[in-house]
């Protein structure tokens, strides 16, 4: 009698969500290196709004470190909002995460895209201050008590945000009301019994 023992397969290491080809594989096989064609990254397909890139210019780069990269300038649309200026893709061009949109599907895929001046979602207005984490407040109180200073401890922090092409949020002025609440408790039961 022959017995076959099968071992379960166990994968070790980091998994990836990439699906598709590298940008070099796509543009290298197209006429005029794909200028005018539409490419999409698979990690951007999770959004309900259209997210894609239209190739404007392509430049080949010498192969280095065994990785084949290419410089591609694209008109980027992220979540239905078109960026005002072309964007260069170089460092991420080797990732096998790009997919070419067929010409007959381009018009349907791009449906819902807004020009750069407007956005597909409203501007978010954030409050000018954030509540300080409770542990930091208690630590500040303890430090002041140890130094012998008796005064009220500040419990808010001024909010500063970094502006970017994909970031449409801004801090509210003194006359405006914030449309986004920050510091809201996500799970009330975690705070039960706390003074």
In tens, the pLDDT along 84-95 reads: 889 999 888 888
Percent of the chain with pLDDT over 90: 15
Distance CA 180, CA 195 (A): 26
- The band of 120, judged by pLDDT with boundaries at 50, 70 and 90, is very low
DSSP the chain: ------PPP---S------SB-HHHHHHTSGGGGTT-EEEEGGGTTSSS--EEEEEEEEE---BTTB--EEEEEEEEETTEE-SS-EEE-TTTTSS-EEEPPHHHHHHHTTT-B-TTS-SSPPPEE-SEEEPPHHHHHHHHHHHHHHT---PPP-EEE------SS---EE--TTS--SS--S--S-GGGGTT--
**Per-residue confidence (pLDDT) for residue 48, from 0 to 100:** 84
Give all domains of the chain, ordered by start, each with its CATH number.
23-109 (2.30.30), 125-191 (no CATH)
Whole-number Cα distances in Å, 156 to 112, 147, 168: 40, 22, 24
pLDDT confidence bin for 54, thresholds 50/70/90: very high
For 60, residues 6+ apart whose C-beta sits below 8 A from its C-beta are 70, 71
Residues 56-105 pLDDT 10s: 999 888 776 667 888 999 999 888 888 888 999 988 888 888 999 999 98
- For residue 35, report the phi and psi dihedrals to the nearest 5 degrees: -60, 125
Which pLDDT score, from 0 to 100, does residue 93 have? 85
The pTM (predicted TM-score) of the whole model is: 0.58
Q: What is residue 183's predicted lDDT score, i.e. its pLDDT?
A: 64
1: confidence class by pLDDT, cuts 50, 70, 90:
low
Residues with Cβ within 8 Å of residue 53, at least 6 apart in sequence: 38, 39, 40, 41, 74, 75, 76, 77, 87, 89
Q: Give residue 12's pLDDT.
A: 82
Between 180 and 167, the higher pLDDT residue: 180
Work out the percent of the chain whose per-residue pLDDT is above 70.
86
Higher pLDDT, 93 or 194: 93
Q: Is the pLDDT of residue 194 over 80?
A: no
Q: Is the pLDDT of residue 118 over 60?
A: no
């Amino acid at each position: 009698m022959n017995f076959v023992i099968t071992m379960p397969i166990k994968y070790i290491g980091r998994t990836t969500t990439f699906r598709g080809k590298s940008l070099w594989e796509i543009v290298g096989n197209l006429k005029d290196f794909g200028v005018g064609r539409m490419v999409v990254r698979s990690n951007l397909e999770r959004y309900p709004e259209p997210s894609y890139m239209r190739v404007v210019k392509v430049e080949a780069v010498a192969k280095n470190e065994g990785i084949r990269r290419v410089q591609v300038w694209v008109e980027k649309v992220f979540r239905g909002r078109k960026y005002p200026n072309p964007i260069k893709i170089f460092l991420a061009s080797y990732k096998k995460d790009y997919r070419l949109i067929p010409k007959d599907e381009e018009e349907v895929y791009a449906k819902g895209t807004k020009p750069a001046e407007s956005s597909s979602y409203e501007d978010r207005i954030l409050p000018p201050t954030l509540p300080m984490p409770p542990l930091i407040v208690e630590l500040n109180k303890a430090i002041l008590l140890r130094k012998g200073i008796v005064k009220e401890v500040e419990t808010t922090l001024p909010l500063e945000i970094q502006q970017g092409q994909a970031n449409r949020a801004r801090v509210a002025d003194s006359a405006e009301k914030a449309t986004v609440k920050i510091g809201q408790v996500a799970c009330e039961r975690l705070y039960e019994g706390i003074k």
